[in-house]
Amino acid sequence: MATISIIQTKPASTPFKLLNLTFIVFRNFLDIMPLKDLHTLSKQNDTVKTMSRFRGEVVRCLEIQTGVITDDVDYTSYSHLINRPYKTTPFEVLRVLMDASIDPDVLLSKLNEKCYTELDLHGEYNWKHVVTFLHEGVKFIELNDTMNLPQTDMKEFFKILTEFKIQEIFFFPKNRDADWAEAALKSWSSVIGTDLEPWEYDAQIGAMALKIPIGNRVMKVYYDDSDEGDVDMYYDN
């Protein structure tokens, strides 16, 4: 069986002897490779980049919003994303500036898989939208701006969050009620089945913090009690 001809741009950093692989084996290798590794390898090797196009575009961070995108921001237009002939998959951060025109299910259908570890939502959305974006690999969640989360729904939402292996959740909504923190503490305590310790200020994060014991692990929950807006973390693709 014929082997594939490869011009290696950085042979020393390529972890496999790709010249020895048949076409079928090479393609299968690219098909199962974790996206983070594929992203790194495709930047080092032109053949890998060409041969892995069937998996779509792989980026570190995907930022989505509606409307006109200016040159000074890194966001991708929602309409542009859903009309692309290929899929775009972030392996680390999915950041979405939500509004009524964005359908989370449609957006997710344009990803090859849900493998991002950080979910960062802005704009206007409700807590059920957050649930739609969740998957087993999410470790960090940041919820900003206007999130519709009635106190009557807090327990249901928080219970769902505990079913995932999330390490940290940042609640920075600007539309929270004056008694949001107290209601959240009661809801978390009800979900866990015990009275939790009160919120404490975390100077390193600059926000109020709550520790949620879940089995043999602890999930940290933060909220900003100031009116200075949210905390943003930016990544390059």
- Confidence grade of residue 98 (pLDDT, cut at 50, 70, 90): very high
Residue 228, in any domain of the structure: no
Question: Quick one: 23 and 127 in the same domain?
Answer: no
Tokens coding 60: 């570190």
Residue 209, strand partner residues: 200, 222
The residue with greater pLDDT, 30 or 220, is 220
Is the same domain home to 196 and 103? Answer: yes
Name the more confident of 60 and 7: 60
| Residue 237 pLDDT level (bands cut at 50, 70, 90) | very low
- Reference 92, options 48, 123, 142, 138; nearest CA is 138
Task: Name which of 92, 8, 96 is nearest 48 in CA terms.
Answer: 8
Q: What is the pLDDT of residues 162-197, one digit of tens each?
A: 999 999 999 998 888 889 999 999 999 999 999 999
| Domain assignment present for 4 | no
For residues 73 and 101, membership in a common domain is answered with yes
The stretch 110-124 carries a mean pLDDT of 95
Q: In what order do the strands lie in the sheet with 88-98?
A: 76-77, 57-65, 88-98, 118-126, 140-148, 168-173, 217-223, 207-214, 200-202
- 232 belongs to a structural domain: no
Task: Please indicate, yes or no, whether residues 72 and 40 belong to a single structural domain of this protein.
Answer: no
The last residue of one of the domains, among 19, 39, 55, is 55
Maximum CA extent, the chain: 70
* pLDDT at residue number 72: 56
Confidence at 16, pLDDT banded by 50, 70, 90: low
Give yes or no: residues 100 and 215 share one domain.
Answer: yes
Same domain for 100 and 23?
A: no
Confidence of residue 25 (pLDDT cuts 50, 70, 90): confident
One domain for residues 46 and 148: no
Assess if residue 234 is contained within a domain.
Answer: no
Q: Specify the number of domains making up the chain.
A: 2
* Residue 176 within a domain: yes
**50 and 61 both lie in a single domain:** no
Q: Which domain holds residue 50?
A: 11-55
pLDDT at 204 over 90: yes
pLDDT on residue 146: 95
The answer for residues whose C-beta is within 8 angstroms of residue 107's C-beta and 6 or more apart is: 64, 78, 81, 82, 96
pLDDT at residue 73 tops 50: yes
Do 126 and 72 belong together in one domain? yes
Residue 40 lies in a domain: yes
Tell whether the model's pLDDT for residue 63 goes beyond 90: yes
Do 33 and 126 fall into the same domain? no
The span from the CA of 76 to the CA of 63, in Å, is 6
Tell me whether strands 118-126 and 207-214 are parallel, antiparallel or unpaired: unpaired
Same domain, 79 and 51: no
Residue in 59, 67, 65, 63 with CA at minimum distance from that of residue 88: 59
